[in-house]
Structure 1
Amino acid sequence: MAGLLREGVRRRARSRALTLVLTLLALQLGQLVAPAWACGCGAMVPGDARRVTVGREESVVRWDGTREQVVMRLTVRGDAERVAWIMPVPRRATVRLGDPALFDELHDVTAPVHRDRHHFWPQDGDWPLVTGDGTAGGPGRPPFGPGRTPAVDVVGRQRLGPFDVARLTATDPGALDGWLDSNGFALPPRLAGALRPYVQKRWEYVAVKLAPDTAGEPLTGTLDPLHLTFRTDEPVYPMRLSRLAETPQSLGLYVLAAHRMEPASRIGGERPRVTYAGRVTAKSGPLAELAAGTPFLTAVGQEFPHPERISGDHVLRRSSADDTFQQVIYENRLRTVAGLPAWLLTVTGGPALAVATAAVLAVRRSRRPETPAPAPIG
């Protein structure tokens, strides 16, 4: 009987181990057969059955009323040696390299302000209210034409640093598919379907071939910014392709215009939040140059927990007022006097003062000359 029990235990253990191995293998195969990765401003397509992800995306939109400029910088990681990046645009675009220092200036301008906020009574983390390890309790707080493939119309081709940039027109996703195929890339079926709304609106595409500086090395790290310029009837930031993402997406967007701007709708995400609003005061540098004529800077953040719900592109509109805003992070500090907690001085100082006062009064009484008793009469 005991032997049968041990054999049953061994069989169950082998079954669990086999299930674990098959699960891990399925996960690995899933990564290999899902090479496309969407980002807020477009889509990445690796050159083979490898994987590439956009770890971080930063974009600036400048709108002067008739013309839009988009400066974007991507940080990518993965094992792909060649990647194609595709971005839909409403009109024909010109492309050039951007200045990386632009984003450094934006980070400095929009950074939260740190201020001290004093409290009288001790809080968690102040002596003597500390945890066993001497730290404050609680968590800390610190983002086509059927049956044929039409020829793609390449309206421009240029080399920008490590980028091979092609500006394309297409009346059908098949044209883009043909260009990708001739350049060693395969258009994923899901991406072809996501591009159809842009085809219906007769948008064009900017297609970029990315490759690492050293042959044979995977494409990874922060890429040089790309600067796109095109005419449009209203400021728009392409977001539709982000619905292809399989993980939650986070948008961080800087907008330069004559006034404070805001997204016209949520487009399937959480409520957009303004993290900074104010006029650019820099007199020189890439931010001052880009903001000339459009001096109001608005920084917008938004979360997309369910990317498949993204319903369109972000259309930007003027806010009701040019109110300024900057995030403030308060550092709670215990109020002190000469380095000592004020509450401690109050708690211990009150009784001490009372004792000292009583002592002084007692001394004064002891030193006061006694009045002699009146002599008896008679």
Structure 2
Amino acid sequence: MLGFLRSGSPHLTPAPARRRVLAVLLTLLALQAGSLVAPAWACGCGAMVAGGAGRVSVGREESVVRWDGVREDVVMRLTVGGDAERVAWIMPVPRRATVRLGDPELFEELHDVTAPVHRDRHHFWPRDGDWPLVTGGDTARGPRPPWVGGPPVGVVGRQRLGPFDVARLTATDPDALDRWLDSNGFTLPPRLEGALRPYVDRRWEYVAVKPAPRSPGVPLTGILDPLHLTFRADEPVYPMRLSRLADTPQSLGLYVLAAHRMEPSSRIGGERPRVTYAGRVAEKSGPLAELAAGTPFLTAIGQEFPYPERISGDHVLRRAAADDTFQQVIHEDRLRTVAGVPAWLLTVTGGSTLAAATAVLLAVRRSRRPEAPPPPPPPPSARPAQPSAPIG
């Protein structure tokens, strides 16, 4: 490449072309350098920060919001990947929160309750994939809290919960969070510092969590134990603002437990939220029944954010107009058969056989019908008299 750009080469490259090639090289170098920076990975409930030069990603996020009119619970489970041995997860909360470990079985129960119902839907005539229209290939279907001032950053409490080191923080400016994280071996990226500014201005607090790797020197990957946060709330809210830092489209899956069916009050910059399940919890025992006590209506909400930078705030949830129930139904299209034989084939074959038999029967009946004899000639006396010729 250098020889190609050297001015003494017998094949000279025009100046505009050289500038374009240099621009491409500089871009590649910038991208390579950028890949070495430990980024903040945005997820719906907050942001993850990798310690050192490692990288971290959130492959899947599941959250449950429970609100009884006074208190809000948020239970979340993350699936993380990457090569970072140390990560920190930061979540803003409107008021002081308590933190404990959640029950992993909660999400398994939620999956079972909200799963779509599969029903067969039969069709008479063959479609692509049915004999004889098989084309090959895969045919499977498949209000603001009171604030009395204080230091720029304060540690309300710190505790060890299983594999997590949990700190509950207050901060009056993002720099305080930056210094706290830095003193604990983590660097707060400038973009995340700016994204936290609205929460600082509203006097929110923060929950900072450091998951410990299962073994020294082994990156933290896989499904993390759920965390259960509880705090007072005048209205149910789910923090989403930090998701605007994401570089790729985001997908939100949220379970909401309340006295009635709930819905987001706005799109906050994403596509229209869709309800994938709505109904009262019927379970009498287990983690779901325990969490749903006093808040028996479960609403599952999904939303896509193809342009995360357009996310304008947090999700505030409100009561829906009616407590209508809903469950997704997936229809499995199947060809109608009789004793394993396609019904259309029986109909066509039977109809053809009946038509052929009818034609044969008519032909046989015609062949056996006696022919009528010709009518006899009239007698001579009955013949009409011939007029006589005129005389003279």
TM-score by length of 1: 0.87
- Give a deviation string over 1:69-128, Cα, whole Å, max 9, x none: 000000010111101110000010000000011000101111111111111111111112
Instruction: For residue 49 of structure 1, report the CA deviation from its aligned partner.
Output: 2.1
1:114 aligns with 2:115: no
| Residue aligning to 1:147 | none
| Residue aligning to 1:287 | 288
Q: Residues 164 and 324 of structure 1: is their aligned pair in 2 closer, same or farther, counting only changes over 3 Å?
A: same
| Residue aligning to 1:54 | 58
- Give a deviation string over 1:105-156, Cα, whole Å, max 9, x none: 101111111111111111111112222x3554xxx765xxxxxxx6521111
- Residues 199-218 of structure 1: pairs in structure 2 closer than 5 A: 199-218=200-219
Aligned length: 362
SS in 1 for 2:61: strand
Distance 2:36 2:115 in 1: 39
| Residue aligning to 1:343 | 344
Distance 1:30 1:130 in 2: 50
SS in 1 for 2:196: helix
- Residues 161-176 of structure 1: pairs in structure 2 closer than 5 A: 161-176=162-177
Distance 1:342 1:243 in 2: 55
Runs ≥4 residues deviating over 3 A? 6-10, 15-28, 357-368, 370-373
Q: Residues 21 and 115 of structure 1: is their aligned pair in 2 closer, same or farther, counting only changes over 3 Å?
A: farther
8 Å Cα contact 2:38-2:52 kept in structure 1: no
SS in 2 for 1:228: strand
8 Å Cα contact 1:269-1:304 kept in structure 2: yes
Instruction: For residue 359 of structure 1, report the CA deviation from its aligned partner.
Output: 4.3
SS in 2 for 1:262: strand
| Residue aligning to 1:267 | 268
SS in 2 for 1:32: coil
Distance 1:152 1:265 in 2: 33
SS in 2 for 1:122: coil
Instruction: For residue 172 of structure 1, report the CA deviation from its aligned partner.
Output: 1.6
8 Å Cα contact 1:151-1:178 kept in structure 2: no
Letter in 1 for 2:56: V
1:35 aligns with 2:36: no
8 Å Cα contact 2:38-2:51 kept in structure 1: no
Across the aligned residues of Structure 1 and Structure 2, the Cα RMSD in angstroms comes to 3.1
- Give a deviation string over 1:20-42, Cα, whole Å, max 9, x none: 88765543322222521111100
| Residue aligning to 1:196 | 197
Instruction: For residue 366 of structure 1, report the CA deviation from its aligned partner.
Output: 8.4
Moved more, 83-92 or 172-181: 172-181
Distance 1:245 1:256 in 2: 27
Instruction: For residue 321 of structure 1, report the CA deviation from its aligned partner.
Output: 0.4
1:92 aligns with 2:93: no
8 Å Cα contact 2:38-2:49 kept in structure 1: no
1:332 aligns with 2:333: yes
| Residue aligning to 1:78 | 82
Distance 2:33 2:102 in 1: 37
Q: Residues 213 and 365 of structure 1: is their aligned pair in 2 closer, same or farther, counting only changes over 3 Å?
A: same
| Residue aligning to 1:296 | 297
SS in 1 for 2:35: helix
1:184 aligns with 2:188: no
Bigger CA radius of gyration: 2
Instruction: For residue 344 of structure 1, report the CA deviation from its aligned partner.
Output: 1.5
- Residues 128-277 of structure 1: pairs in structure 2 closer than 5 A: 128-131=132-135, 133=136, 135-136=138-139, 142=142, 152-277=153-278
Distance 2:31 2:372 in 1: 106
